[in-house]
Amino acid sequence: EAGVAQSPRYKIIEKRQSVAFWCNPISGHATLYWYQQILGQGPKLLIQFQNNGVVDDSQLPKDRFSAERLKGVDSTLKIQPAKLEDSAVYLCASSLTGTGVAEQYFGPGTRLTVT
Amino acid sequence: ELKVEQNPLFLSMQEGKNYTIYCNYSTTSDRLYWYRQDPGKSLESLFVLLSNGAVKQEGRLMASLDTKARLSTLHITAAVHDLSATYFCAVGNDMRFGAGTRLTVKP
């Protein structure tokens, strides 16, 4: 079974630039999550999708971050404009259901450096 | 707001020894997760605990949940070097993570 795919794996941008990350979840997984993990910290949930609807985006900085999951499969996370404090690893995860019971499977992450 | 605290944050163990990592959380929740993260890698799910008194074991790791005390423990038995990693607990529907416990097992 293929795992969660993310691209790019690494990205370096200057502050005030824009960046987008892509995630392809495990086939058949209805729920998709985006996390931000700053070095030395635990992941922070940014947004949760159930199919193509948003379940929770309470911790997403909506003035600069946006995410979509068209057709309920792939998802993109965008930052515009980036700030230095956005430097982190962005992890995508998927699960079979969104009830919280199902195990989450994480992708390899995208390491973003903002200079 | 749900707060999740893990301790210790850093743990250095000798091979063959036993130890326990603790995860406390501030508000009621009926679900708790444990993950492992190797340096530079993504997270691997270890356990999903869904009810008070739940206990799960996999190899040298055993996790338990006490929802009344708002406490989960991850017990390591006879540690081996391969267990060196960072261990995270996460709580609730909105997946609040602790800061992680960085475990190093020395020969």
Of B44, B95, B100, the CB nearest to A45: B95
Query: Could you identify the residue written with the tokens 């992708």?
Result: A107
Q: Are A109 and A89 in contact (CB under 8 A)?
A: yes
CA angle B48, B58, A97 (to 5 degrees): 25
**What's the confidence (pLDDT) of residue A1?**
64
CB of A64 within 8 Å of a chain B CB? The answer is no
CB of B33 within 8 Å of a chain A CB? The answer is yes
CB of A43 within 8 Å of a chain B CB? The answer is yes
Q: How far apart are CA B107 and CA A16, in angstroms?
A: 47
pLDDT tens-digit readout, A67-86: 999 888 999 999 999 999 99
CB of B42 within 8 Å of a chain A CB? The answer is yes
Q: Give Dmax (Cα) for chain B.
A: 41
- Domain range spanning residue A9? 5-99
Let me know if A27 is exposed, middle or buried by CB neighbors in 10 A (0-12, 13-18, 19+): exposed
CB of A41 within 8 Å of a chain B CB? The answer is yes
> Does A68 reside within a domain?
yes
**Domains, chain B, ordered by start:** 4-106 (2.60.40.10)
Query: Could you identify the residue written with the tokens 């193509």?
Result: A52
Kindly report the nearest CA distance between residue A105 and chain B, in angstroms. Answer: 7
> Does A59 reside within a domain?
yes
The CATH number given to whatever domain includes residue A93 is 2.60.40.10
Q: How far apart are CA A6 and CA A73, in angstroms?
A: 13
Q: How far apart are CA B50 and CA B66, in angstroms?
A: 10
> Does A111 reside within a domain?
no
> Does A115 reside within a domain?
no
> In B1-107, where does DSSP find H-type helix?
none
Q: How far apart are CA A60 and CA A101, in angstroms?
A: 23
* Cβ <8 Å between A109 and B42: yes
Work out how many domains chain A is built from and give that number: 1
Chain A hits for B21, Cβ within 8 Å: none
Of B4, B43, B94, the CB nearest to A45: B94
Q: How far apart are CA B89 and CA B107, in angstroms?
A: 26
> Does A110 reside within a domain?
no
DSSP lists the bridge partners of residue B6 as: B23
What does each of the 107 residues of chain B score in pLDDT, given as a tens digit?
889 999 999 999 999 999 999 999 998 887 899 999 998 899 999 999 988 888 999 999 999 999 999 999 999 999 999 999 999 999 987 789 999 999 999 98
CB of A56 within 8 Å of a chain B CB? The answer is yes
List all residues 6 or more positions away from B46 whose beta carbon is below 8 Å from its beta carbon.
B34, B35, B36, B58, B61, B63, B74, B87
- The list of chain A residues with pLDDT below 50 reads none
Q: Which two tokens stand for residue A66?
A: 């946006």
Of B45, B93, B97, the CB nearest to A100: B93
